[in-house]
Structure 1
Amino acid sequence: MNSSINDFFGYVKNKKVAFIGIGTSNLPLIKMFSDKGAKVIACDKKDFNSLGGNGIKAEEYGAKLILGENYLSNIDADIVFRSPGTPFYKDELVSLRKNGVVLTSEMEVFFDLCPCKVIAVTGSDGKTTTTTIISEFLKASGQNVHLGGNIGKPLLPEIESVKPTDYAVVELSSFQLISMRRSPDVAVVTNLAPNHLDIHKDMQEYIDAKKNIILHQSAFSKAVLNLDNDITNGFSNDVRGSLAKFSVKEKLYNGAYLDGTTICYSDYGKVTKIMDIKDIKIPGMHNVENYLAAISAVWGIVDTETIVKVAKTFGGVEHRAEFVREFNGVKYYNDSIASSPTRTALGTLSLYDEKIIIIAGGYDKHIPYEPLGPVINDKVKVLILLGNTAPKIEEAVKKADNYDENTIKIINVNNMEEAVKAAVENSESGDIVSLSPASASFGLYKNFEERGNHFKSIVNGLK
């Protein structure tokens, strides 16, 4: 173990360390810091009964619990770990910082202590799939990979087992990046569009948070940016190290691009033809873009044969255009990850040649739905709506220039059971039904995984 890790855990011993949120991602951290001799405090808005087994485990790990509506007002700690879902500029956290409390996060500390190369991915859409593809590339080439961040498990509990020769592959959200002042060795930005404007004060704050992934890189770092996305491409002048781009529209001097249907990589003008897009097992042009981003990230580390092998065998990530089953000749897909209008428009609605049936709607993140309307009219024959954003999506569809009430049927429902029932009743053999909410899950579900799993359980139960 390197000395900085030893020094850090020596520093936290006997310190009062608070964790905001008693979810499954914080439990390993609560245990780790308790084991290292910290006086751990675990804070959550829920009451003890609502926490279920998590509250019991946190107490078993030695944590003192602060629960209920005022959970952020009563924190007496030396160090506070902010969960990504807690806004950095929340009044109670600002007050803690003013009073000398160290406010940090799991990812910030991991970046400070990590002894190996870090490849990190952010963006509005595609970041989980891109992160996973990078991980698959590296694993297939024989590297030892630590995969985590916003993609699932916390990585800090693994820090003592990370070797300098390993790779950490990390997905980062804007909520994690907003407070980070250290950037990865390789930074990838897939694309940027309005998102999470219910949490960020405006679009500029969201963009500035994302930009932290490159702002603190060194001259020896690498940034990978999407040439086809104006906001992402606009980061170019802030890149300090090497810059690779990716594009489905233009040939590049440095980066991965599409030439007809062939994926190529130009290494400062030296072009390598890698594969045809039909070699990619997971469907959709957005996944071609994800591969271009991932290839640009690992170029020089992973050979082309390994890249092609992964593309031909990798079946995708759960809840992303995931085939569920065929029932009465109708194919059902779970794309619960589509939590924004752009994700639905560029993802699900780009995958199929024929008009499909979609289930959409959910929590309102205060992002515009107008651009989604024309795409739905082009690609959807039955639109089933639920949740707070249902009226916004319906309005966007009806106000679009290409709206024709005779070619699209709009059905409003109250819950997922009613949505699937409506899909069954309004479909015929050969149709495609996809859950593609274009909205966050909160309010109806804890997260998109719970939403997708509920949809799958209902579809799999059809008789």
Structure 2
Amino acid sequence: MTGESFTGKRIAVVGLGISNLALARYLAHRGADLTLCDQKSLEEMGDRKPAILQLAEMGARLRLGSRYLEGLWEFEEAYLTPGMKKYLPEIERARASGTKISTEAQLFLSLVKAKTIGVTGSAGKTTTSTLIGDVLSKSGRNTYVGGNIGQPLIEVVDDIPENAYVVLELSSFQLELMEKSPNTALVLNVTLDHMDVHRNRAEYVAAKTRIFSFQKEGDLAIFNGDDTTTAAMALEARARVALFSRRREVSGDGAFLRGSSAIVRLGGVEREVFDVGRLLIPGPHNVENALAASICLIDAGIKPAYIAEVLSEFRGVEHRIEFVRELEGVRYYNDSIATTPDRTAAALYTLAQPIVLIAGGSDKNLPYDRLGEVIVKRVHTLITMGHTAEKIEEAVRRALSSGEGKEQISIRRSRDLGEAVTLARRLAPPGASVVLSPASASFDAFSNYKERGKLFKRLVLEL
């Protein structure tokens, strides 16, 4: 078996989600002295229980339940699940005691020999990563797509050849402990997100910067020139820098619009890549995603005509302003990925009015004031649900009282998603766009946003 040996190393894998279970299998096959830690009991693990028991049969010890972090400082290495708070007392003590605190994503980047492309941002990561992967794969490149999407790649890291391309969607959770950056780094945008895990905005932004902080001079860092935070990040990069903008022509390397044509300039050479009018994915944010991806792909040697061809056929990603059906002149969209107010605001500017918005879910401790203003301007009927229903409604009422947009908006509260869909059909005016775009996480009623989106689609198709 090729790859690094972990024989005899005392390693804790903390949090037994999909990526960490894959990591545990990788480490177990390489001789690690493994302990699996999770705050849930074995019976609470659901469909993960068989995989955990299989690892236990291979020699892994289990430390499950409320005391799962006890003794973490006794291990040589501890790999934390994405989304876990990194400043818990037990983790701080382990770090102070010399335990190496890391993640599956960091280990993968340290081991993989192929060319790596990392994509981060508060919104657009999955669409852009998928688009880059599609173009590379269809052009004949040996391509792997992973990170925050798809199947974890850690189990096949030793089999990925040097001439391959690996495209990684990287969240702030995965980045905050990074000590190595991908060869090409894309930072699409930075807005508030995950304030339920990060202590403040500065910590969240600092995590995002690690995608390029460890790059070398020959690497490439791509930033959104229209986002003040990411534009400032560009000044800190040590690699080659390229900016993308849909509002202005950038100076130096980057991508921009000249009329409806997307232009990529690298090394002083301009190439016309695609026409905005031929994009199937809706909204100005997707123009930005396509611009960012085009810089990366031109740098990888893909011909502009080929990028344009794939873009003209690319329909986006499930749960991201995904068209579900048209019924009685009303179009239904699934935007369950929108777990933040900013993502929902972007969706509302993408869709045709009148709009019926279904919003609400579990609370990520994010402000809703700006979304309230956008709802008042863009939405005909608001249907709320979940723990954040009241917060969203209050933000809309504040916007109304301040004179933003129209004088009134119809607001209805629903018990659950099923009732929300029924209400939406009854209340949607002719020609409306009905969209599930929750501006909230899903954990009050669902295991993840995908489960929520799939239920919405099933409910709509059953109307």
TM tier, smaller: over 0.9
Retained in 2: the 8 A contact 1:284–1:350? yes
**Aligned residue among 42, 50, 53 for 1:56:** 50
Aligned residue-pair number = 455
The answer to whether structure 1 residue 13 and structure 2 residue 10 are counterparts is no
Cα pair 1:118 1:167 within 8 Å, conserved: yes
Residue of structure 1 equivalent to 2:127: 129
Aligned-partner Cα distance in 1 for 2:170–2:453: 22
Gaps of 5+ in 1: none
- Matches of 2:459 and 2:20 in 1, distance apart? 30
Q: Distance in 1 between matches of 2:391 and 2:267?
A: 46
Q: Does 1:66 align with 2:63?
A: yes
Assess if the C-alpha contact under 8 Å between 1:25 and 1:152 holds in 2. Answer: no
Paired residues for 1:209-358 under 5 Å: 209-252=207-250, 253-301=252-300, 302-346=302-346, 348-358=347-357
Is the CA contact 1:118–1:170 (under 8 Å) kept in the aligned structure 2?
Answer: yes
CA contact (8 A) 2:16 2:81 kept: no
Given that 1:22 and 1:55 are in contact with CA atoms closer than 8 Å, whether structure 2 keeps it comes out as no
- CA distance in 2 between counterparts of 1:168 and 1:363 reads 33
Aligned position for 2:375: 376
Aligned to 1:437: 438
Instruction: State the Cα deviation string for residues 405-462 of structure 1 (Å, max 9, x = none).
Output: 7642111122111211211221244322110011122222222111111212222222
CA distance in 1, matches of 2:405, 2:141: 54
Pick one of 33, 37, 40 that aligns with 2:31.
37
Which residue does the alignment assign to 2:391? 392
The 8 Å contact of residues 355 and 378 in structure 1, kept in 2 or not, is answered as no
Q: CA deviation at 1:233?
A: 0.4
Alignment of 1:195-210 (within 5 A): 195-210=193-208
How far residue 177 of structure 1 moved from its aligned partner, in angstroms, is 0.8
Contact 1:384 1:419 in 2 (8 A): yes
Residue in 2 that maps onto 1:367: 366
Q: CA RMSD in A?
A: 1.7
Please give the per-residue CA displacement for 1:221-265, whole angstroms capped at 9, x wherever unaligned. 110000000001011211111110000111123111112222111
Residue 186 of structure 1: aligned partner = 184
What's the TM-score once normalised by structure 2's chain length?
0.94
Alpha-carbon shift at residue 17 of structure 1 (Å): 2.3
* AA aligned opposite 2:331: K
Alignment check: 8 A CA contact 1:382 1:426 kept: yes
Q: Closer, same or farther in 2 for the Cα pair 1:378/1:57, shift >3 Å?
A: same
1:27 aligns with 2:21: yes
TM-score w.r.t. length of structure 1: 0.94
Any stretches of 5+ residues in structure 2 without a counterpart?
none
Distance in 1 (alpha carbons) for counterparts of 2:9 and 2:269:
54
* Pair 1:116 & 2:117 matched: no
SS of residue paired to 2:22: helix
Residues 167 and 141 of structure 1: is their aligned pair in 2 closer, same or farther, counting only changes over 3 Å?
Answer: same
Residue 18 of structure 1: how far off its partner (Å):
1.9
SS where residue 244 of structure 1 aligns? strand
